A and B are shown apart, each in its own frame.
Chain A
Amino acid sequence: MHIPDGLISPQTYLPALALAAPLWLVAGRRLRDRLGDEMLPRLAVFTALAFLLSTVMLPLPGGTSGHAVGVSLLALVFGPWTAFMAYSLVLLLQAVVVGAGGITALPVNALAIGFVGAWTAVALYRGLGFLGETPAVLLAVWGSVMTSALILALVLGMQPWLAHAPDGTPRFFPFGPAVTLPALLIPHALIGAGEAALTLLIFRHARRRRWLAVRG
Protein backbone atom coordinates (compact mmCIF):
# COMPACT_ATOMS: atom_id res chain seq x y z
CA MET A 1 0.00 0.00 0.00
CA HIS A 2 2.82 2.38 0.81
CA ILE A 3 3.75 5.01 -1.76
CA PRO A 4 7.23 4.95 -3.31
CA ASP A 5 9.47 7.95 -3.92
CA GLY A 6 8.85 10.04 -7.00
CA LEU A 7 5.07 9.77 -7.06
CA ILE A 8 4.16 12.53 -4.63
CA SER A 9 5.03 16.20 -4.78
CA PRO A 10 6.99 18.28 -2.24
CA GLN A 11 3.71 20.16 -1.65
CA THR A 12 2.53 16.90 -0.11
CA TYR A 13 5.51 15.35 1.64
CA LEU A 14 6.92 18.52 3.23
CA PRO A 15 3.72 19.35 5.18
CA ALA A 16 3.45 15.64 6.01
CA LEU A 17 6.98 15.73 7.44
CA ALA A 18 6.09 18.83 9.49
CA LEU A 19 3.11 16.94 10.90
CA ALA A 20 4.84 13.59 11.40
CA ALA A 21 7.99 14.90 13.14
CA PRO A 22 6.27 16.09 16.37
CA LEU A 23 4.12 12.95 16.39
CA TRP A 24 7.28 10.80 16.21
CA LEU A 25 8.67 12.82 19.12
CA VAL A 26 5.56 12.25 21.24
CA ALA A 27 5.41 8.56 20.27
CA GLY A 28 9.12 8.13 21.11
CA ARG A 29 8.67 9.66 24.56
CA ARG A 30 5.61 7.54 25.31
CA LEU A 31 7.41 4.42 24.15
CA ARG A 32 10.41 5.23 26.35
CA ASP A 33 8.12 5.65 29.37
CA ARG A 34 6.19 2.43 28.76
CA LEU A 35 8.93 0.15 27.57
CA GLY A 36 9.76 -2.59 30.04
CA ASP A 37 12.09 -5.57 29.90
CA GLU A 38 9.16 -7.90 29.26
CA MET A 39 7.55 -5.79 26.57
CA LEU A 40 10.68 -5.03 24.56
CA PRO A 41 11.41 -8.50 23.08
CA ARG A 42 7.68 -8.96 22.40
CA LEU A 43 7.53 -5.66 20.57
CA ALA A 44 10.63 -6.66 18.59
CA VAL A 45 9.01 -9.91 17.45
CA PHE A 46 5.66 -8.28 16.63
CA THR A 47 7.41 -5.52 14.68
CA ALA A 48 9.34 -8.15 12.74
CA LEU A 49 6.04 -9.94 12.06
CA ALA A 50 4.44 -6.70 10.83
CA PHE A 51 7.46 -6.17 8.60
CA LEU A 52 7.12 -9.66 7.17
CA LEU A 53 3.37 -9.23 6.61
CA SER A 54 4.00 -6.03 4.68
CA THR A 55 6.57 -7.78 2.50
CA VAL A 56 4.74 -10.89 1.32
CA MET A 57 2.84 -10.19 -1.89
CA LEU A 58 -0.52 -11.94 -2.23
CA PRO A 59 -2.04 -12.58 -5.67
CA LEU A 60 -5.48 -10.97 -6.07
CA PRO A 61 -8.26 -11.50 -8.60
CA GLY A 62 -7.75 -9.36 -11.70
CA GLY A 63 -4.07 -10.11 -12.16
CA THR A 64 -2.81 -7.73 -9.51
CA SER A 65 -1.24 -8.37 -6.12
CA GLY A 66 -1.10 -6.72 -2.73
CA HIS A 67 0.26 -7.18 0.74
CA ALA A 68 -1.03 -7.03 4.29
CA VAL A 69 -0.18 -4.05 6.52
CA GLY A 70 0.29 -5.35 10.06
CA VAL A 71 -0.09 -2.06 11.91
CA SER A 72 -3.47 -2.93 13.46
CA LEU A 73 -1.97 -6.00 15.12
CA LEU A 74 0.67 -3.80 16.72
CA ALA A 75 -1.97 -1.23 17.70
CA LEU A 76 -4.34 -3.75 19.30
CA VAL A 77 -1.59 -5.39 21.32
CA PHE A 78 0.69 -2.46 22.24
CA GLY A 79 -1.47 0.64 21.74
CA PRO A 80 -1.56 3.25 18.95
CA TRP A 81 1.49 5.34 19.90
CA THR A 82 3.78 2.32 20.18
CA ALA A 83 2.33 0.91 16.95
CA PHE A 84 2.95 4.21 15.16
CA MET A 85 6.59 4.24 16.28
CA ALA A 86 7.21 0.56 15.50
CA TYR A 87 5.52 0.78 12.13
CA SER A 88 7.56 3.85 11.22
CA LEU A 89 10.63 1.67 11.76
CA VAL A 90 9.06 -0.96 9.47
CA LEU A 91 8.44 1.66 6.77
CA LEU A 92 11.97 3.06 7.13
CA LEU A 93 13.53 -0.39 6.68
CA GLN A 94 11.16 -1.16 3.81
CA ALA A 95 12.40 1.99 2.08
CA VAL A 96 16.10 1.71 2.88
CA VAL A 97 16.74 -2.03 2.76
CA VAL A 98 14.02 -3.59 0.62
CA GLY A 99 13.40 -0.67 -1.74
CA ALA A 100 9.62 -0.53 -1.17
CA GLY A 101 8.17 2.83 -0.24
CA GLY A 102 10.62 5.70 -0.02
CA ILE A 103 12.38 8.28 2.11
CA THR A 104 10.51 11.34 0.83
CA ALA A 105 7.25 9.37 1.00
CA LEU A 106 8.01 8.10 4.53
CA PRO A 107 6.09 10.84 6.42
CA VAL A 108 3.01 10.36 4.23
CA ASN A 109 3.13 6.57 4.60
CA ALA A 110 3.82 6.79 8.34
CA LEU A 111 0.89 9.16 8.89
CA ALA A 112 -1.59 7.31 6.67
CA ILE A 113 -0.69 3.75 7.65
CA GLY A 114 1.20 4.03 10.93
CA PHE A 115 -0.69 6.80 12.70
CA VAL A 116 -4.21 6.82 11.21
CA GLY A 117 -4.19 3.04 10.73
CA ALA A 118 -3.20 2.39 14.35
CA TRP A 119 -5.64 4.90 15.83
CA THR A 120 -8.49 3.71 13.62
CA ALA A 121 -7.91 0.11 14.70
CA VAL A 122 -7.94 1.01 18.41
CA ALA A 123 -10.90 3.40 18.10
CA LEU A 124 -12.99 0.84 16.20
CA TYR A 125 -12.02 -1.95 18.60
CA ARG A 126 -13.10 0.14 21.57
CA GLY A 127 -16.18 1.54 19.86
CA LEU A 128 -17.40 -1.84 18.63
CA GLY A 129 -16.65 -3.70 21.85
CA PHE A 130 -20.41 -4.13 22.47
CA LEU A 131 -20.51 -6.53 19.49
CA GLY A 132 -18.14 -8.93 21.22
CA GLU A 133 -14.42 -9.38 20.88
CA THR A 134 -14.28 -11.31 17.61
CA PRO A 135 -16.43 -8.95 15.47
CA ALA A 136 -14.77 -5.94 17.11
CA VAL A 137 -11.27 -7.15 16.20
CA LEU A 138 -12.26 -8.19 12.67
CA LEU A 139 -14.02 -4.90 11.91
CA ALA A 140 -11.28 -2.85 13.58
CA VAL A 141 -8.55 -4.40 11.43
CA TRP A 142 -10.61 -4.23 8.22
CA GLY A 143 -11.62 -0.63 8.94
CA SER A 144 -8.02 0.31 9.66
CA VAL A 145 -6.75 -1.13 6.36
CA MET A 146 -9.55 0.56 4.41
CA THR A 147 -9.07 3.93 6.10
CA SER A 148 -5.33 3.92 5.32
CA ALA A 149 -6.05 2.87 1.74
CA LEU A 150 -8.63 5.66 1.43
CA ILE A 151 -6.19 8.31 2.64
CA LEU A 152 -3.41 7.12 0.35
CA ALA A 153 -5.83 6.96 -2.60
CA LEU A 154 -6.84 10.58 -1.93
CA VAL A 155 -3.21 11.68 -1.49
CA LEU A 156 -2.26 10.03 -4.79
CA GLY A 157 -5.39 11.27 -6.54
CA MET A 158 -4.65 14.88 -5.51
CA GLN A 159 -1.19 14.87 -7.14
CA PRO A 160 -2.27 15.87 -10.68
CA TRP A 161 -4.08 18.84 -9.14
CA LEU A 162 -1.26 19.76 -6.72
CA ALA A 163 1.72 19.57 -9.08
CA HIS A 164 1.44 19.97 -12.82
CA ALA A 165 3.22 21.68 -15.71
CA PRO A 166 1.78 24.89 -17.24
CA ASP A 167 0.12 22.77 -19.92
CA GLY A 168 -1.58 20.68 -17.24
CA THR A 169 0.68 17.61 -17.51
CA PRO A 170 1.07 16.03 -14.06
CA ARG A 171 4.64 16.26 -12.76
CA PHE A 172 4.27 13.35 -10.33
CA PHE A 173 1.46 10.81 -10.03
CA PRO A 174 -0.74 11.13 -13.13
CA PHE A 175 -4.08 9.58 -12.08
CA GLY A 176 -6.96 11.34 -10.33
CA PRO A 177 -9.22 10.06 -7.53
CA ALA A 178 -11.59 8.43 -10.02
CA VAL A 179 -8.77 5.97 -10.78
CA THR A 180 -6.95 5.76 -7.44
CA LEU A 181 -9.99 5.17 -5.21
CA PRO A 182 -11.13 1.92 -6.87
CA ALA A 183 -7.53 0.88 -7.59
CA LEU A 184 -6.69 0.96 -3.88
CA LEU A 185 -9.97 0.32 -2.11
CA ILE A 186 -11.17 -2.76 -4.03
CA PRO A 187 -7.99 -4.85 -3.58
CA HIS A 188 -7.61 -3.71 0.03
CA ALA A 189 -11.16 -4.77 0.86
CA LEU A 190 -9.92 -8.33 0.20
CA ILE A 191 -6.52 -7.80 1.82
CA GLY A 192 -8.19 -6.28 4.89
CA ALA A 193 -10.45 -9.32 5.28
CA GLY A 194 -7.47 -11.70 5.19
CA GLU A 195 -5.45 -9.54 7.54
CA ALA A 196 -8.39 -9.32 9.94
CA ALA A 197 -8.60 -13.11 10.19
CA LEU A 198 -4.85 -13.46 10.75
CA THR A 199 -4.78 -10.64 13.30
CA LEU A 200 -7.65 -12.24 15.23
CA LEU A 201 -5.67 -15.48 15.66
CA ILE A 202 -2.58 -13.67 16.93
CA PHE A 203 -4.66 -11.27 19.05
CA ARG A 204 -6.35 -14.21 20.84
CA HIS A 205 -2.97 -15.73 21.54
CA ALA A 206 -1.72 -12.39 22.90
CA ARG A 207 -4.83 -12.04 25.11
CA ARG A 208 -4.40 -15.54 26.57
CA ARG A 209 -0.81 -14.64 27.40
CA ARG A 210 -1.96 -11.33 28.96
CA TRP A 211 0.19 -9.29 26.60
CA LEU A 212 -2.49 -6.76 25.70
CA ALA A 213 -1.89 -3.13 26.50
CA VAL A 214 -5.19 -2.02 24.92
CA ARG A 215 -8.51 -2.51 26.68
CA GLY A 216 -11.66 -3.10 24.64
Chain B
Amino acid sequence: MPQRLRFFLLGLAVMCCLWVPVAHGHALLHEFLDGEAVIVRLTFAGGDESPWFEPYEVFAPGEETAFQSGRVNALGEVMFRPDRPGAWKLRVISADGHGATITLEVDGAGEVLAVEGTHGDAHGHWSRVIAALGYVLGAFGLLMIWRQWRARPPPAA
Protein backbone atom coordinates (compact mmCIF):
# COMPACT_ATOMS: atom_id res chain seq x y z
CA MET B 1 0.00 0.00 0.00
CA PRO B 2 1.50 3.35 -0.97
CA GLN B 3 2.64 5.60 1.82
CA ARG B 4 0.24 8.42 0.84
CA LEU B 5 -2.76 6.11 0.84
CA ARG B 6 -1.77 4.79 4.28
CA PHE B 7 -1.67 8.35 5.66
CA PHE B 8 -4.99 9.13 4.02
CA LEU B 9 -6.70 6.09 5.62
CA LEU B 10 -5.14 6.89 9.00
CA GLY B 11 -6.39 10.47 8.76
CA LEU B 12 -9.85 9.24 7.76
CA ALA B 13 -9.93 6.89 10.78
CA VAL B 14 -8.95 9.74 13.13
CA MET B 15 -11.65 11.97 11.65
CA CYS B 16 -14.32 9.24 12.05
CA CYS B 17 -13.32 8.83 15.71
CA LEU B 18 -13.62 12.57 16.24
CA TRP B 19 -17.06 12.54 14.50
CA VAL B 20 -18.56 10.04 16.99
CA PRO B 21 -19.63 12.54 19.68
CA VAL B 22 -21.54 14.49 17.05
CA ALA B 23 -23.48 11.37 16.00
CA HIS B 24 -25.35 11.17 19.38
CA GLY B 25 -25.52 7.36 19.62
CA HIS B 26 -28.91 7.03 21.45
CA ALA B 27 -30.25 10.55 21.12
CA LEU B 28 -33.88 11.18 20.26
CA LEU B 29 -33.77 13.18 17.09
CA HIS B 30 -36.43 15.54 15.88
CA GLU B 31 -37.59 17.31 12.79
CA PHE B 32 -40.23 19.91 12.15
CA LEU B 33 -43.21 19.04 10.00
CA ASP B 34 -45.85 21.23 8.47
CA GLY B 35 -49.34 19.81 8.80
CA GLU B 36 -52.91 20.18 9.91
CA ALA B 37 -53.99 19.03 13.39
CA VAL B 38 -57.37 18.56 14.99
CA ILE B 39 -57.80 20.88 17.96
CA VAL B 40 -60.58 20.22 20.48
CA ARG B 41 -61.26 22.79 23.20
CA LEU B 42 -62.92 21.48 26.36
CA THR B 43 -64.91 23.43 28.93
CA PHE B 44 -67.02 22.35 31.88
CA ALA B 45 -70.74 22.90 31.45
CA GLY B 46 -72.07 26.22 32.68
CA GLY B 47 -68.74 27.99 32.88
CA ASP B 48 -65.55 28.95 31.13
CA GLU B 49 -63.38 26.60 33.16
CA SER B 50 -61.55 23.86 31.34
CA PRO B 51 -60.29 20.48 32.51
CA TRP B 52 -56.68 21.67 32.57
CA PHE B 53 -54.06 18.92 32.71
CA GLU B 54 -56.65 16.17 32.98
CA PRO B 55 -55.69 12.91 31.22
CA TYR B 56 -57.02 12.15 27.75
CA GLU B 57 -56.76 9.34 25.23
CA VAL B 58 -57.27 9.43 21.46
CA PHE B 59 -58.37 6.23 19.71
CA ALA B 60 -57.99 5.68 15.96
CA PRO B 61 -61.02 4.23 14.10
CA GLY B 62 -61.76 0.70 15.32
CA GLU B 63 -58.76 0.60 17.65
CA GLU B 64 -58.88 -0.25 21.35
CA THR B 65 -55.30 0.76 22.06
CA ALA B 66 -54.78 4.49 22.36
CA PHE B 67 -53.25 6.25 19.33
CA GLN B 68 -52.24 9.14 21.57
CA SER B 69 -52.52 9.90 25.26
CA GLY B 70 -51.53 12.77 27.45
CA ARG B 71 -52.95 15.62 29.46
CA VAL B 72 -55.14 18.49 28.38
CA ASN B 73 -52.99 21.61 27.97
CA ALA B 74 -53.23 24.84 29.96
CA LEU B 75 -55.70 26.24 27.43
CA GLY B 76 -58.07 23.30 27.89
CA GLU B 77 -57.17 21.96 24.43
CA VAL B 78 -56.29 18.57 22.98
CA MET B 79 -54.48 18.37 19.63
CA PHE B 80 -53.81 15.35 17.50
CA ARG B 81 -53.07 14.55 13.86
CA PRO B 82 -55.22 11.76 12.37
CA ASP B 83 -53.33 9.55 9.94
CA ARG B 84 -56.38 7.86 8.43
CA PRO B 85 -60.05 8.64 7.77
CA GLY B 86 -62.83 7.35 10.02
CA ALA B 87 -64.41 7.87 13.43
CA TRP B 88 -61.73 9.02 15.87
CA LYS B 89 -62.58 9.00 19.57
CA LEU B 90 -61.29 11.43 22.17
CA ARG B 91 -61.87 10.42 25.79
CA VAL B 92 -61.21 12.87 28.61
CA ILE B 93 -61.70 11.81 32.22
CA SER B 94 -61.13 13.89 35.32
CA ALA B 95 -60.35 12.27 38.67
CA ASP B 96 -63.64 13.44 40.21
CA GLY B 97 -65.69 11.48 37.72
CA HIS B 98 -66.41 14.09 35.09
CA GLY B 99 -65.59 13.23 31.55
CA ALA B 100 -66.62 13.07 27.95
CA THR B 101 -66.18 10.86 24.92
CA ILE B 102 -66.16 12.80 21.68
CA THR B 103 -66.32 11.12 18.28
CA LEU B 104 -64.81 13.03 15.37
CA GLU B 105 -65.55 11.89 11.84
CA VAL B 106 -62.37 12.62 9.87
CA ASP B 107 -61.95 12.49 6.07
CA GLY B 108 -58.91 11.40 4.08
CA ALA B 109 -57.42 14.90 4.19
CA GLY B 110 -57.59 15.02 7.99
CA GLU B 111 -60.54 17.43 8.01
CA VAL B 112 -63.19 16.94 10.70
CA LEU B 113 -66.53 16.38 8.98
CA ALA B 114 -68.77 15.85 12.02
CA VAL B 115 -68.45 15.87 15.80
CA GLU B 116 -70.56 13.85 18.14
CA GLY B 117 -70.01 14.23 21.88
CA THR B 118 -71.65 12.55 24.83
CA HIS B 119 -71.97 16.02 26.33
CA GLY B 120 -72.55 18.03 23.20
CA ASP B 121 -70.79 21.27 22.47
CA ALA B 122 -70.25 24.09 24.92
CA HIS B 123 -72.67 26.46 23.21
CA GLY B 124 -76.28 26.77 24.23
CA HIS B 125 -75.83 25.32 27.72
CA TRP B 126 -78.15 27.83 29.37
CA SER B 127 -80.73 27.47 26.61
CA ARG B 128 -80.84 23.77 27.39
CA VAL B 129 -81.07 24.46 31.14
CA ILE B 130 -84.03 26.79 30.61
CA ALA B 131 -85.64 24.24 28.29
CA ALA B 132 -85.19 21.53 30.93
CA LEU B 133 -86.74 23.76 33.60
CA GLY B 134 -89.71 24.10 31.27
CA TYR B 135 -89.87 20.30 30.94
CA VAL B 136 -89.86 19.91 34.76
CA LEU B 137 -92.72 22.35 35.23
CA GLY B 138 -94.51 21.03 32.17
CA ALA B 139 -94.30 17.43 33.39
CA PHE B 140 -95.93 18.38 36.70
CA GLY B 141 -98.50 20.47 34.83
CA LEU B 142 -99.46 17.44 32.74
CA LEU B 143 -99.65 15.37 35.94
CA MET B 144 -102.03 17.92 37.44
CA ILE B 145 -104.25 17.92 34.33
CA TRP B 146 -104.28 14.11 34.37
CA ARG B 147 -105.27 14.08 38.08
CA GLN B 148 -108.07 16.57 37.50
CA TRP B 149 -109.29 14.60 34.52
CA ARG B 150 -109.38 11.40 36.62
CA ALA B 151 -111.12 13.15 39.50
CA ARG B 152 -113.93 14.64 37.40
CA PRO B 153 -117.41 13.42 38.33
CA PRO B 154 -118.97 10.81 36.08
CA PRO B 155 -121.41 12.22 33.53
CA ALA B 156 -125.02 12.25 34.72
CA ALA B 157 -127.07 9.41 33.32
User: Are A99's CB and B119's CB within 8 A?
Assistant: yes
B144 lies within 8 A of chain A by Cβ: yes
B128 lies within 8 A of chain A by Cβ: yes
* Binding stretch for chain A, among B9-17, B18-26, B27-35, B88-96: B88-96
User: Which residues of B are found within 8 Å of A3, using beta-carbon distances?
Assistant: 97
A191–B93 Cα gap in the complex (Å)?
A: 21
A97 lies within 8 A of chain B by Cβ: yes
| A-B pairs with lowest CB-CB distance, top 6 | A44-B140, A183-B95, A97-B132, A183-B96, A57-B46, A99-B119
User: Are B131's CB and A7's CB within 8 A?
Assistant: no
User: Which residues of B are found within 8 Å of A98, using beta-carbon distances?
Assistant: 45, 125, 128-129, 132
A64 lies within 8 A of chain B by Cβ: yes
Smallest CB–CB gap between A29 and chain B, Å? 14
User: Which residues of A are found within 8 Å of B100, using beta-carbon distances?
Assistant: 4, 6
User: Which residues of A are found within 8 Å of B137, using beta-carbon distances?
Assistant: 44-45, 48
User: Which residues of A are found within 8 Å of B47, using beta-carbon distances?
Assistant: 57, 59, 65
Can you give 24 A-B contacts (C-beta < 8 A)?
A4-B99, A4-B100, A6-B100, A6-B101, A37-B147, A40-B143, A44-B137, A44-B139, A44-B140, A48-B133, A48-B137, A51-B136, A55-B129, A57-B44, A65-B47, A66-B96, A97-B132, A99-B45, A99-B117, A153-B97, A174-B93, A175-B95, A179-B95, A183-B97
B36 lies within 8 A of chain A by Cβ: no
B110 lies within 8 A of chain A by Cβ: no
Smallest CB–CB gap between B95 and chain A, Å? 4
Smallest CB–CB gap between A150 and chain B, Å? 12
- Known contacts A57-B47, A93-B132: does B91 contact A64 (CB below 8 Å)? no
A35–B151 Cα gap in the complex (Å)?
A: 13
- Scan residues 43-82 of chain B and give those whose CB is less than 8 A from a CB of chain A: 44-47, 49, 52, 55, 64
A125 lies within 8 A of chain B by Cβ: no
Number of A-B contacts (CB under 8 A): 114
User: Are A51's CB and B132's CB within 8 A?
Assistant: yes
- Category for how many chain A residues contact B: 35 or more
User: Which residues of A are found within 8 Å of B133, using beta-carbon distances?
Assistant: 48, 51-52
User: Are A174's CB and B55's CB within 8 A?
Assistant: yes
User: Which residues of B are found within 8 Å of A198, using beta-carbon distances?
Assistant: none
- Known contacts A65-B47, A98-B125, A152-B97: does B91 contact A47 (CB below 8 Å)? no
User: Are B99's CB and A184's CB within 8 A?
Assistant: no
User: Which residues of B are found within 8 Å of A143, using beta-carbon distances?
Assistant: none
A4–B137 Cα gap in the complex (Å)?
A: 24
User: Which residues of B are found within 8 Å of A57, using beta-carbon distances?
Assistant: 44-47, 49
B98 lies within 8 A of chain A by Cβ: yes
Smallest CB–CB gap between B65 and chain A, Å? 8
